Amino acid sequence: MEPQTQNLKTIPLLSLGRFHISEEYGFLLPNPLKELPDHYRPWMEIANKLPRLIESHQLQAQVNKMPLLTCQFLQSYREQRLAHLVLSFITMGYVWQEGETHPKEVLPRNLALPFVEVSKNLGIPPILVHADLVLTNWTTRDPERNLDIIVSFPGEESLRGFILVTVLVEKAAVPGIKALVQAVNAILQSSQNSLLQALQRLRLSIQDITRTLGQMHDYVDPDIFYAVIRIFLSGWKDNPSMPVGLIYEGVSPEPLEYSGGSAAQSTVLHAFDEFLGIHHSKESADFLHRMREYMPPSHKAFIEEIHSAPSLRDHILSSGNGPLLAAYNQCVEALAELRSYHITVVTKYLITAATKAKGRRPKYLPGPPLAFEERGTGGTVVLSFLKSVRNKTLEAILHQSD
């Protein structure tokens, strides 16, 4: 790493607006659209009936009759984000309609061409990503501002709960993201008091994220998540059910491989890790860096900006400031506790649910997705990855003698 020789005062201050991050909603898209222009009614008609079409095994036939539409009439950024959300849900339903043993290996051109076109416009891959499932897929449905989702899969209330609790997790992270910006600027301006306050706010936000994640237990049934929902989040990279990937007809004669939706595609913890100077094992870091390609480019750029900012750890150690060191360590401990809690949630919803599904198959559930038992939807061997990431977080604890 090159020494910080430049004058810190000459570096421009960090701001969220530069990266299209909302002061109120963070990485969530503020007030997502629910309807596309009338030209795209064939897409919306399918999207609005998606769970029923999948459950009745009619989606593939409906998609095959869909007209080929270009994306030229998508005028705004929010229209493009909704189009990507709609086409990604239709794609996952189309591929996985018949379950993990009979995935569709070719995406028809009337779906593949516009999906790839809007993906290129947005700078994200042509598959369902966290930015679709969560960041663009929320709305308020009544004057009380109760949350609802825009597009759905089979899984009913558990699917809705899974998405909306994750929306609330992103919302709980907003004070932490703002604290991170305050902290970076405090280092640039050599303001120890502002830095201390920012670290305290970051810790509180991380703790709030952990509490919010706990709402999964109230709204998501583990059996339904494992046996019904999870397959629709699964991709075609590192997936034994689709070992060579998916052919996007009219785009490429060769199959393309993309990872499924993953919490690792959320920008939040990437930003916290970069700011706190947490270094993961090569295998984990490689996967995490690959997941950044699944984020909106401005969010990925925000992580890179944090990475290139002056080192918080170096600043604290060189300052000899005890309260700053203690506040930093409390942030690291809170982040490790969040990751430990995430391990317990994943154990309940994947590992324990898989064991139960093997032992007894409820009548209303299809067969368990055997190929996915030890893997997250992003393709990682999930528990070893999560434990490594948690342990490397704890290794970042600072001692005054460091």
Q: Is 246 exposed, middle or buried (0-12, 13-18, 19+ CB in 10 A)?
A: buried
Task: Please give the Cα distance from 26 to 170 (Å, whole number).
Answer: 7
Conformational region of residue 361, where left means phi above 0, alpha means psi within -120 to 50, and beta covers everything else: beta
Q: Is 321 exposed, middle or buried (0-12, 13-18, 19+ CB in 10 A)?
A: middle
Domains and CATH numbers, the chain: 17-395 (1.20.58.480)
67-106 confidence digits (pLDDT tens): 999 999 999 999 999 999 999 999 999 999 999 999 999 9
Q: What is the pLDDT of residue 361?
A: 52
pLDDT band for 400, please (50, 70, 90 cuts).
confident
Residue 189 pLDDT exceeds 80: yes
pTM for this one? 0.92
Whether 307 has a binding-site annotation, put simply, is: no
Q: Considering only residues 1 and 399, tell me which one the structure prediction assigns the higher pLDDT.
A: 399
Residue 298 pLDDT exceeds 50: yes
